[in-house]
């Protein structure tokens, strides 16, 4: 689950990570009220208006702007709220902005260049350890830094049994070229950040930029936070942070009925029971010259109702040219699944694309007979290879 910048910052701050202070607003009037409040609390004269969408690169797309007066806060908030913000990380249509974060201006005007660093915390899957990735080249496109000057990106791996050790936090501050008060502030920042990462069961923190102000404060100016969905049951309070407007509507609908559905770009919809079989089926589709349109695991109970919902979800995708159903009847008998498919097909009505059904397992032969005699435009097979050949045939 991804968080908005303002939610991520609040969460970080609750673990003692220093942040650029801000208040979220839905309207220009709320934005002005937020700016006034921030001036009272922080003494800031200028403010920054920041679009809240689940995508980075907002600055480049015109979604982050400095306001030098309350009139400008109102005017800029009015421009940004309701706009379709296009950034290097959104589609060409962009994302609708429904709220902005009003922040204190932490790049104090007139002072020498503040220093922007990059810092992320994530899992290194090759070593199975968390790591802190950081660079002196913050604020800009970290992918470009990785391409052009990879030696300016550092990694610090953390032993899961020991946690982040004090010398590691000092090494990071040292490699970022800090000394004195800023050095100390950075070690505090890194320790609090890592602690927050572990305690919140996150799978990604990306803070770009981490800012060192001219008076040597070290603060998170941006925050991309991804919480591990599999750990959400331990954090019931985080569930309220989910913004369904930012998520794929079909995936949201699938989740509500307990189906694992991931939208993909291909042309063959697939309905499978079991994640392993789903992966194998997607490989099969590719081998047959197609591209999977989705990952869909209907789970152990492939009854008529679930099959019908699954069909409907797949059919929402206009790119789907064929559907491959690949179900292993272990716990659930194939003839029951076949009846479910036939019933679902009849209930939905005008399905205009070919459906290939491969049922293997208990009562597979009875299932094939049921489908073949149903009079519906469904191709039934038992062997995996036959299914592949059929996919190839219907796509040709």
Q: What are the DSSP calls for 266-277, one per residue?
A: SSEEEEESSHHH
Asked about 74 being catalytic, the answer comes back as no
Tell me if 221 contacts ligand GDP by CB under 6 A.
yes
Residue length of the chain = 396
31 binds, among ligand GDP, Mn ion, none (CB under 5 to 8 A by kind): none
Would you say 105 or 263 has its CB closer to ligand GDP?
105
Partners of 202 in beta bridges: 227
**Nearest 5°: CA angle at 155, between 149 and 159?**
170
Tell me if 139 contacts ligand GDP by CB under 6 A.
yes
Query: Whole-number minimum distance, CB 57 to Mn ion, in Å?
Result: 8
57 binds, among Mn ion, ligand GDP, none (CB under 5 to 8 A by kind): ligand GDP
Buried residues in 59-98 as b, exposed as e (16+ CB within 10 A): bebebbbebeeeebbbbbbbbbbebebbbeebeeebbebe
Contact window for Mn ion (CB under 5 A) among 85-93, 160-168, 201-209, 373-381: 201-209
Tell me if 56 contacts ligand GDP by CB under 6 A.
yes
Query: Whole-number minimum distance, CB 68 to ligand GDP, in Å?
Result: 10
Sequence-distant contacts of 8-13: CB under 8 A, at least 24 apart: 8/205, 8/223, 8/224, 8/225, 9/220, 9/223, 11/196, 11/200, 11/225, 11/238, 11/241, 12/192, 12/193, 12/196, 12/205, 12/220, 12/223, 12/225
Tell me if 208 contacts Mn ion by CB under 5 A.
yes
Catalytic residue among 118, 197, 261, 345: 118
> Segment 64-83, which members bind ligand GDP (CB under 6 A)?
64, 66
Asked about 206 being catalytic, the answer comes back as yes
> Segment 221-260, which members bind Mn ion (CB under 5 A)?
222
Catalytic residue among 5, 116, 137, 206: 206
Residue showing the smallest CB distance to Mn ion in the complex: 222
> Segment 13-32, which members bind ligand GDP (CB under 6 A)?
20
Catalytic residue numbers?
A: 118, 206
């Amino acid at each position: 689950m991804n968080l908005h910048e303002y939610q991520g910052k609040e969460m970080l701050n609750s673990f003692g990570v220093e942040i650029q202070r801000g208040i979220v607003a839905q309207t220009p009037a709320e934005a002005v009220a937020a700016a006034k409040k921030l001036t009272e609390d922080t003494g800031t004269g200028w403010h920054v208006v920041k679009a809240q969408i689940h995508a980075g690169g907002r600055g480049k797309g015109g979604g982050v702007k400095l306001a030098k007066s309350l009139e400008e806060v109102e005017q800029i908030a009015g421009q940004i709220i309701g706009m379709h913000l296009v950034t290097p990380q959104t589609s060409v249509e962009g994302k609708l902005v429904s709220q902005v974060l009003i922040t204190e201006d932490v790049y104090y005007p007139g002072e020498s260049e503040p220093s922007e660093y990059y810092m992320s915390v994530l899992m290194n899957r090759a070593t199975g350890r968390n790591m802190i990735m950081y660079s002196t080249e913050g604020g800009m496109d970290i992918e470009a830094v990785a391409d052009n000057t990879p030696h300016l990106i550092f990694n610090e791996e953390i032993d899961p049994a020991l946690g982040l050790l004090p010398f590691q936090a000092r090494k990071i501050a040292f490699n970022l070229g800090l000394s004195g008060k800023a050095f100390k502030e950075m070690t505090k920042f890194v320790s609090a950040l890592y602690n927050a990462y572990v305690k919140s069961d996150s799978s990604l923190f990306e803070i770009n930029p981490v800012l060192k102000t001219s008076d040597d404060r070290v603060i998170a100016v941006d925050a991309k936070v991804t919480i591990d969905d599999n750990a959400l049951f331990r954090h019931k309070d985080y569930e309220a942070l989910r913004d369904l407007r930012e998520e794929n509507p079909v995936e949201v609908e699938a989740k509500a009925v307990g189906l694992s559905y991931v939208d993909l770009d291909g042309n063959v919809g697939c309905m499978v029971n079991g994640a392993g079989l789903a992966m194998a089926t997607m490989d099969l589709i590719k081998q047959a010259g197609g591209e999977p349109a989705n990952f869909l695991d209907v789970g152990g109970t492939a009854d008529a109702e679930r099959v019908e919902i699954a069909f409907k979800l797949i059919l929402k995708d206009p790119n789907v040219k064929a559907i491959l159903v690949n179900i292993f009847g272990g716990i659930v008998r194939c003839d029951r699944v076949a009846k479910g498919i036939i019933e679902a097909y009849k209930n939905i009505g005008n399905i205009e694309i070919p459906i290939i059904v491969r049922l293997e397992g208990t009562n597979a032969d009875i299932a094939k007979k049921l489908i073949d005699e149903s009079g519906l435009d469904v191709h039934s097979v038992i062997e995996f290879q036959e299914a592949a050949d059929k996919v190839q045939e219907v796509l040709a």
